[in-house]
Structure 1
């Protein structure tokens, strides 16, 4: 088994329940929460944004998609920059960029300036968020690391839903007549507070640093991700044009070129953008498959269910967002409490959790009435998907701490691609079944089966992950 190496300054078996570790984790995860929140917080504000800025449909699409595109494309680069220049330094730099561009978005005078600032805001988030997982990996060990990853997963899941709720609250409140601008301006005081607290709470960067960014790898991986993400985000709205399919094919070609370039960089004694040592880490490849499939079902479930709640059931955006609170609560409780199970059950929890989620998805259509039974059903689905921290803990357990940036950037990118893919594929199925003015209740049946199938595949990969070893809470140095 590959042993992780605790770097100088590591907090031995310290976690979110203890003073310094708790404050450090809270600061890191609040930055992560803001970045995830901004993926969806804009959705509820689009109607008022259209009226105020006289925005076109294409402009509104890019306001939403611009952030996601630059975020997904630059995550791995952000992770490597943290490894080169220091995680704390890059976290602060990314947070500052995110805060400043949030202010710029909130003050944008036109649609296209807003689109430009959204791309820059996504770039700031891509620089900031990979440092969170890297600093958890470097500064927490054993059971403390597992607890921290549980909170981390809950923040990611909760941030997606909270974006819809917060967007509804902020737009409805109309603070000082800010309207849609409030969904961006809310980041400014929070970001400023984190920037002031960061130097006091985050540990200084230690250990060997330096080196060069793998520019050939960056020049081939970035377009590969871009060519994959853009058609997935815009494909349905544009009727899946020919250029979208060509873009997907070009993405595969760029990935093949990227693999060849990385082999050449490694053979020449350089350090590839994604270390081969990381890719060879035991169980990481299997875990990555799960980390694509599970967010795929989660994001698609939130997307399609929101459309149903606001469609046939006539709920307001705010009420539909609040309807997911029990689901997210169950996700978080499972993620934080799985370590209390006997150690021999930890590996089995992953396939069991996704099997539970699959069974829940099958019942989405029959129970899609928004009543108490539906809330119980969504809670069951959230509990099943709550095993995500077990997957991440298992994967990172075999990754040396010096490779934390590479592993973190890779996993975050795959999770983001999984979410975008889920919305693009299952979301398209839902909209096709619903048709123009059709029943979203009918569409829920078909998407429920699709989500169940994806969850079954996640369970199969989860079983393979379990056969390779459990995610037990190991002691320092493990």
Structure 2
């Protein structure tokens, strides 16, 4: 990633902050990329390792499950260990697990190492927003969050393109293995650069870990995510529905326990900060449509139109470009437009989704609709982050970071599961399935726009 120079607080040099942002967002980029890059390599992995359908699903989903379940835990550990130490430790685990994945000799080993990869990402990723919150102020923070939003979009799309390139190249007969091994040299460079650049902090050793809260939230998330990820592959078995019901019960217990805890995992002042609750709901719906959009369109392009993984990945470039363009430039609009921009942008994204079903056979119209959807999502997501964090104290940065990142990730997991299931449940041809799914995506974007209306009221 190119070095970025931003306005800095008086205590830091601009170049140092530019390097800081480059390092932490490069780590974020790798973590996001690894969610999508394996999808393209899945057929080759299945053939090479003779993986069963369930085994292959766990290879793909294991990373996401561990990542989503442990994000809040990773945020709190960042508070205790120090954000620099937690970021470096997570990056070390992620890089080592990437090497192990690339050298795995069987399906079981690959599944295990993918879980470890997710653990490393869950420790590393929450520190990104915490470090932004603690080291950037005012306009510099808003710009940093804009670049953060662009990285999220870029990682999701680049993963599909890079995966297609690496698998098609079959470097030295290694097939699918480079999709994991490519992380190793990047991770090593980031570790060295991070040791020199990331600001040191001792952490708060006396801050409680709230182990009951950690365990109950992790259990609730696990019970919720596993059936969503594996449910369709397993034809929605009874155990999946029991897990979903159990997740509601365990989450209710978590909420009750948080109210009584002396050092709650999610302090009430964070969840109750002005704009936070509406922001969380809107982010969940926004990124839910994003995840469903990526998944269903990829299935349509490859399964319905017969495109290769690489060609299908290239079709996502207008969407990623639109997302990045809006994320990087929304602050150029007058300040009075920033909050109204959020619901308006979600309406634009909904129009883009409807355009996809109109031009479902591909071509220029399809790419324009992709760009419109990406533009709307980017113009909503980055302002959402800025508004949600406006009234969060620096001391609560880690908790707010874990909460926002977890909401973002769960939104995408739920989006893939619900809209992906809808797409796969509609009888062929895939053009009809895409029509039904895109209408559902547009409706959800409209609901998100309604949920964002409380953010129009300025407070403080």
- From 173, 179, 192, the equivalent of 2:175 is 179
Whether 2:122 is the aligned partner of 1:130: answer no
Structure 1 counterpart of 2:9: 12
Displacement after TM superposition at 1:264 (Å): 1.9
- From 454, 464, 467, the equivalent of 2:444 is 454
Structure 2 counterpart of 1:285: 277
Structure 2 counterpart of 1:142: 138
Displacement after TM superposition at 1:56 (Å): 0.7
Whether 2:359 is the aligned partner of 1:367: answer yes
- 1: distance between equivalents of 2:251 and 2:328? 36
TM-score normalised over the length of structure 2: 0.96
- The within-5 A match list for 1:415-426 is 415-426=408-419
Larger mean Cα displacement after TM superposition, 272-281 or 114-123:
272-281
- The within-5 A match list for 1:71-110 is 71-110=67-106
Larger mean Cα displacement after TM superposition, 309-318 or 221-230:
309-318
Deviations 1:417-446 (A, max 9, x none): 11111111111111111x3xx211111110
- 2: distance between equivalents of 1:203 and 1:176? 40
Structure 1 counterpart of 2:423: 430
Matched residue of 2:431: which SS? helix
Displacement after TM superposition at 1:176 (Å): 2.2
Whether 2:46 is the aligned partner of 1:54: answer no
Displacement after TM superposition at 1:467 (Å): 2.2
Q: Which structure ranks higher in relative contact order (CA pairs < 8 Å, sequence separation ≥ 6)?
A: 1
Q: Which runs of 5+ in 2 are unaligned?
A: 1-6
Matched residue of 1:42: which SS? helix
Structure 1 counterpart of 2:114: 118
Q: Is the 8 A contact 1:13 1:145 kept in 2?
A: no
Whether 2:195 is the aligned partner of 1:221: answer no
Structure 2 counterpart of 1:475: none
Deviations 1:335-382 (A, max 9, x none): 111111111111111011001111221222111121011111110111
Q: Is the 8 A contact 2:8 2:140 kept in 1?
A: no
Structure 1 counterpart of 2:293: 301
Q: Residue 207 and residue 113 in structure 1: after superposition, are their counterparts in 2 closer, same or farther (change >3 A)?
A: closer
Deviations 1:162-189 (A, max 9, x none): 1111111111112222211111110000
Deviations 1:254-282 (A, max 9, x none): 0111112112213xxxx111112111111
Matched residue of 1:282: which SS? coil
- 2: distance between equivalents of 1:304 and 1:333? 23
- 2: distance between equivalents of 1:323 and 1:296? 20
Larger mean Cα displacement after TM superposition, 451-460 or 364-373:
364-373
Moved beyond 3 Å, runs of 4+ = 206-210
- From 319, 333, 337, the equivalent of 1:327 is 319
Q: Which runs of 5+ in 1 are unaligned?
A: 1-9, 470-477
TM-score normalised over the length of structure 1: 0.92
Deviations 1:167-215 (A, max 9, x none): 1111111222221111111000000010111011111116755423111
- From 169, 183, 198, the equivalent of 2:165 is 169
Q: What is the RMSD computed on CA atoms of the aligned residues?
A: 1.6
Matched residue of 1:386: which SS? helix
- 2: distance between equivalents of 1:290 and 1:299? 14
Deviations 1:232-264 (A, max 9, x none): 101111111111111111001001111121122
Structure 2 counterpart of 1:399: 392
- 1: distance between equivalents of 2:113 and 2:78? 23
Structure 1 counterpart of 2:306: 314
- 1: distance between equivalents of 2:438 and 2:143? 31
Q: Is the 8 A contact 2:81 2:203 kept in 1?
A: no
- 2: distance between equivalents of 1:55 and 1:313? 26
- 2: distance between equivalents of 1:112 and 1:207? 37
Structure 1 counterpart of 2:60: 64
Structure 2 counterpart of 1:408: 401
- 2: distance between equivalents of 1:311 and 1:151? 33
Displacement after TM superposition at 1:284 (Å): 0.2
Displacement after TM superposition at 1:13 (Å): 7.9
- 2: distance between equivalents of 1:121 and 1:207? 24
- 1: distance between equivalents of 2:368 and 2:435? 18
